[in-house]
Structure 1
Amino acid sequence: MLVLFGALLHATWNAMIKAGTDKSLDASLISAGGAVCALPFLMFLPLPNAAAWPFIGASAVLQFVYFQLVAGAYREGDIGLVYPLMRGCAPLLIAATSGFILDETLSTGAVIGTMTICAGILTLAFEARRGGGHAIRLALANACVIATYTYVDGIGARISGNAVSYTLWMSLLPPVLLFTWATSKRGTVAVAAHVRYNWWRGLIGGGGSIASYGLALWAMTKAPVATVAALRETSILFALLISVIVLKEKASAWRYLAGAIIALGGLILKLG
């Protein structure tokens, strides 16, 4: 249930980036908002174990690349194409490789459930009405980044001694990298103006982002990484609800079919 709640938060902050006027700066703002939300809690938590700090550094670089690719993919293609490819391919990669990377053995039910969820997510790509080859390449590249940082953070959270502490410390460096990059490309005045008028977007989206990922990392300390990664990608169901109920967008038959397949996958995971 906590992972599913995190999936809802994940879909919400992604929708905020997609709906924003400047996707690159909005992605940076949401990353910064997560760091701001994390700061007050750091003094109440133990430091991560020393062995976890290299993972925190590696994760920061991967998160920087991730946010850049998210913004680029949403500029180039329809969310109906980009989001399913990014979020659907990553757990497939993890499920295919977790056996020899983490020496985790999935039950038959977990494998079937994971594959079913991924199939449902990828079904949404069929209903995309726009988005060309460049959008697809960006989405697939980001799927590789997502799979990589999932491994890095899954291992890092386990050896840190405290998954919440790991998540909060991990959130501090990516916005520094993102805003340094944005300032070098856009100039201080443009970046400052966007922050002035959209700071609330960063706080709301950032709080959701850090809470969503923290819940996933905590779950990875209790269950196989591949299973958690697949269940987390049910965020696409919440994205469907947001698009239909909040944004009043028309949903094709592909979206409803995907929703049914993803729900079936979640049930198989629970029973398996």
Structure 2
Amino acid sequence: MPYHIILLVLFAALLHASWNAALRGGADRLWSMTIMCVAVAIASVAIALFLEAPAQTSWFYAALSAVLHVGYNLFLVRSYKVGDLGQTYPISRGSSPILITLAASVFAGETVGPIAMIGILLVSGGIISLAFRGRKLAVPSLPYALGTGCFIAAYSVTDGIGVRLSGAPMAYTVWMCALWGILMPLVYIGVRDAKSLFTFRPGFMTAFIGGLISLLAYGIVIYAMSAAPMGAVSALRETSVLFAAVIGYLFLGETLTVRKILACVVIAIGTIMIG
């Protein structure tokens, strides 16, 4: 994998951990996530006006990915409702690289070399180990965290295929994100109401800026998947748990144990093997 791709994906991992921490720290996470999506929609439409549309063959994948992203949002919000960042985040992010590698093999005909495959397994294993408490995987939100991981795998492979058919990674990204950013507020209004969505409250700017950060982070990942294997890119992206562990310790009052440090070392070794 080219070194500039590795550095870009690691930067996206830092951005991803940042906006997840902002979401986890919010009081009304469904509202915060929806405001993030509003920001994504506004920015995406503004950028799309200056770009040519992606190839028509990629539009099905963009629409499917937008729907899958809404499912991911709902599962993520639910998992954070009953679990902390240090447990929920590793399960959802750690399960996705292996799922993506398998799905990319089936649907996109991708193959990963043995060393990179070991690296992916180390990254996923190290990430998931962060969720253990002693020898037990006691995660109250486990079904939703695993569901979140499945949605991550589904939309990642969908976008990996779509962006390669699009002929224009940036245009594909912003149009898909625009669709996603429009769908999520509609879902929120259906679940609650329009008045509560558009009522200004504390945390609005944090959520709005978080949405812009999430757009940049995922745009980088989609670009990387247009030039590198999806499973390897996903595993590198999920090193965001390293940043999440530090952010959770510094700002959310979560613990940083010897187990977490050792897991971070395993993740780092896996990252080097992928690179």
- Normalised-by-shorter TM-score class: over 0.9
Deviation for aligned residue 1:55: 0.8
Deviation for aligned residue 1:238: 0.8
Is contact 1:37-1:203 (8 Å) kept? no
Is contact 1:36-1:203 (8 Å) kept? no
CA offsets per residue over residues 90-118 of structure 1, 9 Å max, x none? Answer: 11112233223211111111101111111
Amino acid across the alignment from 1:213: Y
Q: Does 1:233 align with 2:238?
A: yes
Paired with 1:196 and 1:35, the residues of 2 have a C-alpha distance of: 20
Q: 1:40 to 1:181 in 2, by over 3 A?
A: closer
1:96 pairs with 84, 102, 110, which one? 102
Q: Which moves more between the two structures, 52-61 or 100-109?
A: 100-109
CA offsets per residue over residues 195-228 of structure 1, 9 Å max, x none? Answer: 4543312321111111111111111111111110
Is contact 2:22-2:207 (8 Å) kept? no
Deviation for aligned residue 1:134: 5.5
Deviation for aligned residue 1:131: 9.2
Q: How does 1:106-185 map to 2 (within 5 A)?
A: 106-127=112-133, 135-185=141-191
Is contact 2:79-2:88 (8 Å) kept? yes
Is contact 2:91-2:149 (8 Å) kept? yes
Aligned positions, number: 269
Q: 1:12 to 1:264 in 2, by over 3 A?
A: same
1:217 pairs with 217, 222, 227, which one? 222
Q: TM-score under structure 2 normalisation?
A: 0.92
Is contact 1:59-1:153 (8 Å) kept? yes
Paired with 2:253 and 2:24, the residues of 1 have a C-alpha distance of: 15
Deviation for aligned residue 1:41: 1.7
Runs of 4+ aligned residues of structure 1 deviating over 4 Å after TM superposition are 130-134
Deviation for aligned residue 1:42: 1.5
Amino acid across the alignment from 2:158: V
Deviation for aligned residue 1:32: 1.6
Is contact 1:121-1:236 (8 Å) kept? yes
Tell me the equivalent position of 1:251.
256
Instruction: Structure 1: give runs of 5+ residues left out of the alignment.
Output: none
Q: 1:179 to 1:93 in 2, by over 3 A?
A: same
Instruction: Structure 2: give runs of 5+ residues left out of the alignment.
Output: 1-6
Tell me the equivalent position of 1:34.
40
Paired with 1:32 and 1:135, the residues of 2 have a C-alpha distance of: 26
Tell me the equivalent position of 2:56.
50
CA offsets per residue over residues 54-104 of structure 1, 9 Å max, x none? Answer: 111101110110100010000021222211111010111122332232111
Deviation for aligned residue 1:268: 1.1
SS at match of 1:152: helix
